[in-house]
C-alpha cells in the first residue's frame, strides 16, 4: 500500500469503529515502552525490559520496562510533588482535564480496542463495544463529580487522601485503569498505577493520551513490571491508599503487608457467582444470559456466572437449549468481529483451565464441549460445561477464570439460596424469573455485592461494584467509588 493511502487509513481510523483484521497493522505500537513518570517516558533503573505477546498468535508485540523499587520511588515522589498543586486546583479545573481524557479516549477508541484485543486476546467486538466505551464513560462520569464533592458528601468536608497506588489485572486492562484513575483524580488524588504483566499496552497508550491531554506532570504515573513491582508499590511508605484488583491470594498478602500502617485499602478480588434460573424465567433469554455470564471475555471475569443453578422442572430443556446455543459459538481469531470467544490470556492461564477441566472429569462431572475446532496457534479453549456436579466438587468451589461452567439443579428457593451462598466468595449473582417478588426475596438473601435480575454482566459507571467475604471489600463505581478516594 502506498504511504499516502496508509496515512489516510490511519487518519480515518479513529472514527472507524469497525476494524477489519488487517487493521492491526495500522495502529501505532512502539517496539519498546519506557515508564511514564512525571509526564514523560523514562528508562527503567535496571535497563531491563520484558516482552508482551499476542495470545492468539504467540507473536511478540512489544517490550515494556521492568520497574524496580527505585523506579517506584521515583514515581511516588513525582505523584507526591504533583499532589500539592493538583489537590488545590478547583474541582471545575480538575474536571476539565478529566473530560479531556474521556474525549481523547473516544477519539482514539478504535486504536485502544485493537491494541486491547491484540495484547489480551479478547474478541474485538467486546473491546470495541464494551471495554473502551465503558472506560471513556468512567472518565466522563467522574469528571462530572470533580466540582460537586461538597454536594456528594454534604457537611462531611471531603478531602483527597494523597497518593494512590493502583494495581490492576489482565482481564479488563483499560477498563480497570479507568475504574482506578478516574475517581482518584476527581477526588484530587495523584496516582501510581501498575498494569498486569501480560497486558501492559493499553495502559501505556493511556499514558500517551494523558501526556497529550496536558494533565499536569506527575498527577498520573504508569509503571510496568511484574508482581515484585506491585509489591514495591504496596510497601512504599509514602503511599496513602492501595487500590487493588486481582486474585484473593495477592489481596490477602497486601492486607498483611499494610497492617499497622495508616494506608487505606480497597480490594476487588475473585468470585464464583451463582446464576439462578427459575422455572418461570423467560428461558431463551436466560440461555443467552448463561452464555454471556460464563463465556464473555473467555470467562476471565471476576463476576462471571460460573455456577449455574437450574430449577429441576426446566433443567432438561434449558440444558438442551444451552448445548444447541454452544454449537453456534465461534471460537478463534479475536480480531475477527464475528468471534464470540477469543484467546485465553496467557499459556499459564490456559494450563490452569485445562487442569481444572481434568479435575472436573476426575471428580465425576459429565463434560460437554461443542464440536468447534480450535486454531492451531495461540492459547484457545473450547467453551465447556460440566453436568452432574455437586457442592463439594472443586470446580464448583474454586475460581477457574476461564470458559468453564459447573451446572447444578435445585427444587426450592431455600435450597438454591443455601447452595448459592455456600462458597468462600461473594462478588455477584444472577436471577432469572418472571416474578418481581422472587427477585426481591432472593437479592436480599444472596451474599453478593452485585445481583443482576434477568440480565448478566451489565456494567455502568454510576453503579457500585465490589464483594463480600473472600471477594474483597470496598466499592468501585458510583458515589461509593468516589468516597473511597476521600476522607469524609
Ligand atoms: P493477580 O496475580 O493477583 O495479579 C493482579 C495484579 O497484581 C497484577 O498487576 C500483578 O502483577 C500484581 N501482583 C502480583 N503479585 C503481587 C504482589 N505480591 N503485590 C502486589 N501486586 C502484585 O491476579 P491475576 O491473575 O492477574 O487476575 C486474576 C484475578 O483477579 C482473579 O482471581 C479475578 O477474580 C480477580 N479479579 C477481580 C476483579 C474484581 O473486580 N473483583 C476484577 C478482575 C479480576 P503481574 O501481572 O505482573 O503478576
Ligand atoms: Mg499480552
Q: Is residue 346 part of a domain?
A: yes
Smallest CA-to-CA distance from 134 within 106, 110, 94, 104 is with 106
**pTM, entire model:** 0.94
Q: What CATH number is associated with residue 282?
A: 3.40.309.10
Alpha carbon distance 462, 455 (integer Å): 17
Q: Are 50 and 64 in contact (CB under 8 A)?
A: yes
Q: pLDDT tens for residues 60-93?
A: 999 999 999 999 999 999 999 999 999 999 999 9
> For position 10, what pLDDT does the model report?
41
Q: pLDDT tens for residues 42-65?
A: 999 999 999 999 999 999 999 999
Q: Is residue 192 part of a domain?
A: yes
Domain that holds residue 46: 3-269+471-487
Protein residue with its CA nearest to atom 19 in ligand 1: 231
Q: Please state the domain count of the chain.
A: 2
Residues 199 and 308 in one domain: no
Q: What CATH number is associated with residue 99?
A: 3.40.605.10
Task: Name the residue with cell 508482581.
Answer: 227
Q: Are 117 and 335 in contact (CB under 8 A)?
A: yes
Q: For residue 290, count CB atoms less than 10 angstroms from its CB and return exposed for 0-12, middle for 13-18, buried for 19 or more.
A: buried
Q: pLDDT tens for residues 164-178?
A: 999 999 999 999 999
Residues 366 and 229 in one domain: no
Smallest CA-to-CA distance from 71 within 207, 233, 190 is with 233
Residues 419 and 355 in one domain: yes
Q: Is residue 465 part of a domain?
A: no
Q: What is the best residue among 250, 298, 348, 429 to mutate for testing ligand 1's pocket, by most ligand atoms within 8 Å of CB?
A: 250
Residues 196 and 343 in one domain: no
Protein residue with its CA nearest to atom 30 in ligand 1: 246
Within 6 A (CB) of ligand 1 lie 167-171, 194, 196-197, 226-227, 230-231, 234, 245-247, 250, 253, 268-271, 302, 399, 401, 427, 467, 472
Mean confidence (pLDDT) of the chain: 94
Question: Residue 21 pLDDT more than 80?
Answer: no
Q: Is residue 422 part of a domain?
A: yes
Task: Name the residue with cell 468462600.
Answer: 424
Residues 260 and 289 in one domain: no
> For position 12, what pLDDT does the model report?
36
Q: Is residue 466 part of a domain?
A: no
Residues 209 and 323 in one domain: no
Residues 311 and 415 in one domain: yes
Q: Is residue 29 part of a domain?
A: yes
Residues 328 and 308 in one domain: yes
Three-state secondary-structure class, residue 485: coil
Amino acid at each position: 500500500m502506498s504511504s499516502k493511502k496508509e496515512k489516510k487509513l490511519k487518519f480515518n481510523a479513529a472514527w472507524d469503529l469497525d476494524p477489519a483484521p488487517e487493521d492491526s497493522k495500522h495502529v501505532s505500537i512502539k517496539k519498546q515502552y519506557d515508564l511514564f513518570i512525571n509526564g514523560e517516558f523514562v528508562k527503567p533503573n535496571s535497563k531491563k525490559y520484558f516482552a508482551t505477546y499476542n495470545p492468539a498468535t504467540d507473536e511478540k508485540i512489544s517490550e515494556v520496562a521492568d520497574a524496580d523499587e527505585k523506579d517506584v520511588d521515583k514515581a511516588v515522589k513525582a505523584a507526591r510533588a504533583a499532589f500539592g498543586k493538583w489537590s488545590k486546583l478547583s474541582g471545575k479545573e480538575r474536571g476539565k482535564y478529566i473530560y479531556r481524557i474521556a474525549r481523547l479516549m473516544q477519539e482514539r477508541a478504535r486504536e485502544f480496542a485493537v491494541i486491547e484485543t491484540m495484547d489480551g486476546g479478547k474478541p474485538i467486538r467486546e473491546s470495541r463495544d464494551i471495554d473502551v466505551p465503558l472506560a471513556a464513560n468512567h472518565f466522563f462520569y467522574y469528571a462530572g463529580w470533580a466540582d460537586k464533592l461538597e454536594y456528594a458528601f454534604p457537611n462531611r468536608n471531603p478531602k483527597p487522601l494523597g497518593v494512590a497506588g493502583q494495581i490492576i489485572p489482565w482481564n479488563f486492562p483499560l477498563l480497570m485503569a479507568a475504574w482506578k484513575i478516574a475517581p482518584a483524580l476527581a477526588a484530587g488524588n495523584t496516582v501510581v498505577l501498575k498494569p498486569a504483566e501480560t497486558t501492559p499496552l493499553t495502559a501505556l497508550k493511556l499514558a500517551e493520551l494523558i501526556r497529550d491531554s496536558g494533565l499536569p506532570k506527575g498527577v498520573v504515573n504508569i509503571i510496568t513490571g511484574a508482581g515484585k513491582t506491585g509489591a514495591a508499590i504496596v510497601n512504599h511508605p509514602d503511599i496513602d491508599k492501595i487500590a487493588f484488583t486481582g486474585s484473593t491470594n495477592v489481596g490477602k498478602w497486601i492486607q498483611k503487608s499494610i497492617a499497622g500502617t495508616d494506608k487505606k485499602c480497597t480490594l476487588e478480588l475473585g468470585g464464583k457467582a451463582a446464576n439462578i434460573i427459575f422455572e418461570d424465567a423467560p428461558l431463551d433469554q436466560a440461555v443467552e444470559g448463561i452464555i454471556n455470564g460464563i463465556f464473555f471475555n473467555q470467562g476471565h471475569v471476576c463476576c462471571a456466572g460460573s455456577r449455574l443453578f437450574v430449577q429441576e422442572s426446566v433443567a432438561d430443556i434449558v440444558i438442551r437449549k444451552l448445548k444447541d446455543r454452544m454449537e453456534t459459538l465461534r471460537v478463534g481469531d479475536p480480531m475477527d468481529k464475528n468471534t464470540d470467544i477469543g484467546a485465553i490470556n496467557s499459556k499459564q492461564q490456559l494450563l490452569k483451565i485445562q487442569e481444572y477441566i481434568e479435575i472436573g472429569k476426575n471428580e465425576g462431572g459429565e463434560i460437554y464441549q461443542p464440536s468447534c475446532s480450535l486454531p492451531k496457534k495461540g492459547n484457545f479453549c473450547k467453551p465447556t460445561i460440566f453436568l452432574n456436579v455437586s457442592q463439594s466438587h472443586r470446580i464448583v468451589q474454586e475460581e477457574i477464570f476461564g470458559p468453564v461452567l459447573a451446572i447444578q439443579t435445585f427444587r426450592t428457593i431455600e435450597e438454591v439460596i443455601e447452595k448459592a451462598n455456600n462458597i468462600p466468595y461473594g462478588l455477584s449473582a444472577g436471577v432469572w424469573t418472571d416474578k418481581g417478588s422472587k427477585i426481591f426475596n432472593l437479592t436480599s438473601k444472596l451474599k453478593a455485592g452485585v445481583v443482576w435480575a434477568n440480565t448478566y454482566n451489565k456494567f455502568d459507571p454510576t453503579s457500585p461494584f465490589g464483594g463480600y467475604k473472600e471477594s474483597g471489600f470496598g466499592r468501585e463505581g458510583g458515589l461509593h467509588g468516589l468516597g473511597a478516594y476521600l476522607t469524609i
